[in-house]
Structure 1
Amino acid sequence: MSVDFSRPKRVRLSDIAERVGVSRRAVSAVLLGTGGGRVGVGDQKASEIRSVAEAMGYQPKLAARQLVGKRSHTYGLLVASAGDPLRSFLIQHLDEEAVAHGNRTLIGNTVVAPDRFEKTVQLFTNSGVDGVLCAVHKWLPGDREALLKQHPCTIFYEDPGIDGAAFVATDRVSAARQATHYLLESGRQRIGLALTAIDLAHQKAAQAMVSLLEQMISGAELSPEQRQVRVEP
């Protein structure tokens, strides 16, 4: 007994046109809305085209729908690694928000290979995504300008340094304040503040976070030894 594991053949517009006995342009006009109204198809024939397409299991490509101005209800999310605890939290909530609004998310990990960023962007293009959120840190590899050219509706998770690019900026000092407050309220007595080399390069921002931690700890009910703040490179 042999089992055929090959993928089922995709139903093409030309297959439907041949079955109904009309031109491919007529089928495209009915199913994809192409032609700008210049392709005349009667109501009865249009109904037949839709019925045959459904019976044959036709599924329009997302990229084709996007080319004619129809939304794919799919968004691309670029992350360095979905296994990063902070990024997994971001992915979870973004995907939940997308699903709540009738959309879905395509997720691409970019650190697994040198050219994965560019390949994932091309995958998003082929899939006809409606927009992209790039949450890959700007010091990691990836052609952001090419991404923006292919997908003008892209939002970066930090300033990419590209004129006109849309981005969101995280207020790290406020985030550190909320995190420290939560830990102190939870009874924690040893609190660590991890700063990356990038953070330390921006001395004002790093010092602001250290000063904030010192202020909040000084007001807590801790012993003098527990109030010490040590910064180690």
Structure 2
Amino acid sequence: MRLASLRDVMFGYGDVPCLEEANVEIHSNEFVAVTGPNGAAKTTLLKLALGLLQPWRGTAEISSTNREGGKLVVGYVPQQIASFNSGFPSNVLEFVQSGRYGRGSWLRRMRKNDREAVEKALLLTDTLHLRNRKIGELSGGQKQRICLARALALSPDLYVLDEPTTGMDKESRARFYELMRNEVREKGKTVVMVTHHLSEVEPELDRLITLERKEESGWRCCTTTSCSGHFVPAGSLRC
């Protein structure tokens, strides 16, 4: 099932396009990485796919339903995690718990399954020991991990992660990639992740989207390739 797509999309800031002729499809039950040099409009590509930005030209669509016919739940972890300042009022436990309200009313009480999901998310991201700390007291890497914990607690259909391993060491990154692969393989989730550690994560991927510059124009060539044979290879798609 197609969850999100860009068709012939152009977008830029000011009057200068930074992304041109972008054609991308994201399907359910796949692990996709987005890569490219610094400044290659990777974050912009994610925001367009999520509907957070509107294209100048072309169409950007995201499904309203998941493959079971229910509401599509998206867990988005942006890149600027360090923007949490020292005055942020919540502690870690409250922040991660807030992810559970994405699947229900903000007014309902936390149930047993909610508390279990939150504790599991904290354990998986090695942040359980931080649960009573204020957000603003944490390091950048710790803030990154609690945002991932919140997304895991939400248990979304679609994870959209913008450089989620910032501040992690190599061992922590490896555990994270395995965790995301398990979300896809065992739970049928979809993961779209911007990364600069392609060689580390590539064995876990189903597809790779690479942004490249054509001549002196905007970033316009998204080459989608089959990576590791988790799915039947479908060749390459130039977009």
User: Does TM-score exceed 0.5, indicating one fold?
Assistant: no
User: Under a length normalisation based on structure 2, what TM-score does the superposition of the two structures give?
Assistant: 0.26
Between structures 1 and 2, the one with greater strand share: 2
Between structures 1 and 2, the one with greater helix share: 1
Q: Is the radius of gyration larger for structure 1 or structure 2?
A: 1
User: Relative contact order (C-alpha < 8 Å, sep 6+): which is higher?
Assistant: 2
